[in-house]
Amino acid sequence: MEKTNVLTLIITLVVGVILTGVLLGPVISDATKTTETFENSGPFNYGIITPEDTYTLEFSTTGDPITVNGEVVPAFDAMNKAYSIIACDNFVARYGVNTSGPFMQCIGVDQNNTNFADGGVTATITVSEGKLLLNWTKADNTTVTKTVLFDEMYAIMPTTDEAVLKVSTEEVYITGDSELYASGVTSVSVWFNVFHFEGTYNDGITISSPNLPDATYSNITWNIEPVEGYNNLYKLTSIEFDINYNDAVTHATYSYFGVPSEVTAELTNHLTPGQISLMGAIPVMVIVALLMAAVGAIAYRRGD
């Protein structure tokens, strides 16, 4: 009988320890957290590519439209749209789909400071020897080759990576020091002028154009709101600015740009390190109490 009672006590103790971990663990973890991570989503992922990296994108109007480093990029909705799938300060590759099928636009300035704006039925874009090598075949089977200088670019990736493309009126989470990155096309004198910006909310953005180096920019406006309960966390919808060129002003609104795949923000109100240490000790204290109770019970039974 005594062995049965001891076995029952051991089982009860084990169950108590397990329940302590299962029930108290999540509660204490939630009560002691100081930060929270927020994920952003978009039609596709961006990788942040430097001249030292290896990267090859292939485009075709037949078969799989986009492959990167030999891997097919999952299909995404681009009907009647033109997404910047590669963006840097001197170049943008825009991919979309219309009633005729998928298309690619290559717009920018090459290493000889020559403007170009063209597209084709096939294209290969490769990072090689620190430069961006562009090669595309047009519908008339003529081939165009360009070399573009770059320091950094955001480029479409087939799997989850450092950034995503923010689209349209969708809100995304950023912190004050989150890097934003965009290259797009705005009609100033001609439709194919590229405008590029990068920077953070805290420090502001730098705007430039490879096609219009003499343009200036003013009235930069962030359509943004703080997220209650967190420090330095915001929801961003778009960025607006005026483009001043040839005594004319063009207002631009950019709601498509690269943002981090996820951001981590500190809660406005959370426990101090000392309070967190104390809360973390509670499960240990409960387990010790259970052990002490078990030892006492065993001693009491033996005393009988």
Same domain, 157 and 244: yes
Q: Give pLDDT, residue 36.
A: 93
Separation of CA 148 from chain center: 25
**Integer Cα distance of 280 and 286 in angstroms:** 11
Instruction: Report residue 301's pLDDT band, with 50, 70 and 90 as the boundaries.
Output: low
Tell me the percentage of the chain whose pLDDT exceeds 70: 77
Q: Give pLDDT, residue 169.
A: 84
CA torsion sign, 288 to 289 to 292 to 293? negative
Domain housing 245: 37-267
Exposure string of 121-138, with b = 16+ CB inside 10 Å and e = fewer, is bebebebeeeebebbbee
Same domain, 124 and 229: yes
Same domain, 257 and 290: no
Instruction: Report residue 152's pLDDT band, with 50, 70 and 90 as the boundaries.
Output: very high
Q: What is the mean pLDDT of the chain?
A: 87
Same domain, 179 and 76: yes
Same domain, 292 and 239: no
Q: Give pLDDT, residue 216.
A: 97
Instruction: Say if CB 133 and CB 97 are below 8 A apart.
Output: no
CB atoms within 10 A of CB 289: 12
Instruction: Report strand pairing: 233-245 vs 163-166.
Output: unpaired
Give tens-digit pLDDT for 171-208.
999 999 999 999 999 999 888 899 999 999 999 999 99
Q: What amino acid occupies position 300?
A: Y
Same domain, 49 and 185: yes
CB atoms within 10 A of CB 273: 9
Same domain, 133 and 221: yes
Number of structural domains found in the chain: 2
The mean pLDDT of 232-240, rounded to a whole number, is 97
Q: Give pLDDT, residue 160.
A: 87
Q: Give pLDDT, residue 189.
A: 86
Choice among 101-105, 159-163, 277-281 with the minimum mean pLDDT = 277-281
Give tens-digit pLDDT for 15-40.
655 655 555 566 555 655 678 999 99
Same domain, 251 and 281: no
Instruction: Report residue 1's pLDDT band, with 50, 70 and 90 as the boundaries.
Output: very low
Q: 12 or 93: whose pLDDT is higher?
A: 93
The torsion angles phi and psi of 187, rounded to 5 degrees, stand at -75, 100
Instruction: Say if CB 48 and CB 162 are below 8 A apart.
Output: yes
The mean pLDDT of 34-61, rounded to a whole number, is 95
Same domain, 186 and 283: no
CB atoms within 10 A of CB 67: 16
Same domain, 278 and 259: no
Over 60: is that where the pLDDT of 146 sits?
Answer: yes
Q: Give pLDDT, residue 145.
A: 96
Q: 16 or 273: whose pLDDT is higher?
A: 273
Q: Give pLDDT, residue 275.
A: 61
Q: Give pLDDT, residue 297.
A: 56
Same domain, 122 and 159: yes
Same domain, 77 and 172: yes
